[in-house]
Amino acid sequence: MTLGQLTLDLPHRAALGAEDFLVSDCNKAAVKLIDQWPNWNDRVELLIGPAASGKTHLARVWQALSGALALESGSFAIEFVDAMGKGTALVVEDADRNAYDEKALFHLLNLAREKGLFVLMTARDAPSRWQVALPDLRSRLSAVPCVGIGAPDEALIKAVLLKHFSDRQLRIDPKVLRYLALHVDRSLAAAQAAVEAIDRAALATGRKISRQLVVEVVQGMNAAD
């Protein structure tokens, strides 16, 4: 992707109906895990990363690849696990924060290998920090392989910012983009919010996207936090 004279050299991944998923050092291991399916080392895998790090995006990519069902915590029960056929693929998102039935989740993890199930779980924290009451489940979770997604690095933030500007058909000088990447909060959500705010400010004032405009928007966003 190019915008003016600025070249975006991070690789793109089709998100199968969603926006492109941009790959950087902070998420490369997680992308590799998705790419390796169905040749996983374990039937159950766990993606760990902070909010807005891309866990849900990767889970959606894997769902499209595998035909996985997304579990709903409110309707998840042991009977549901028993009714699943061999080879079923399932996504368990936000396993550390959604109120999944602990006995049903333990049953699912136990039957994954027996039934040849594939289970992709996502969470913000490692299982050792989850609030789990069932001792057997805590023990089982401790054995689940984990792949971490780090907080977005500068390269990824810059790439995401550039993509959002390009999607809006906005031009930005490379030096201004670098300034913005260094001063926006290190999250994908913050990068998107910054571009939206800059676009609004440019439209409201009739100004071009300059360093001064970006500085004003960033200072305003920081003052509002």
What pLDDT is stored for residue 19 in this prediction? Answer: 52
Among 90, 117, 148, residue at a domain's last position: 148
- d(Cα 193, Cα 164) in Å, to the nearest integer? 10
Q: Same domain, yes or no, for 52 and 135? A: yes
Longest dimension (CA), the chain: 63
Task: Return the amino acid letter for 210.
Answer: S
Q: Which of 148, 173, 202 is the last residue of a domain?
A: 148
The total of structural domains in the chain comes to 2
Going by their DSSP bridges, the two strands 6-7 and 2-3 should be labelled as antiparallel
Q: Is the pTM of this model over 0.85?
A: no
- In residues, how long is the chain? 225
Q: Which of 38, 24, 35 is nearest to 188 (CA)?
A: 24
Cα gap 130→132, rounded to integer Å = 6
Average pLDDT over residues 78-89: 92
What digits encode the pLDDT tens for the residues 178-190? Answer: 999 999 988 888 9
Whether residue 38 has a cis bond before it, omega within 30° of 0: yes
User: In terms of residue numbers, what domain contains 89?
Assistant: 27-148
- The reply to whether 84 and 112 lie within a common domain is yes
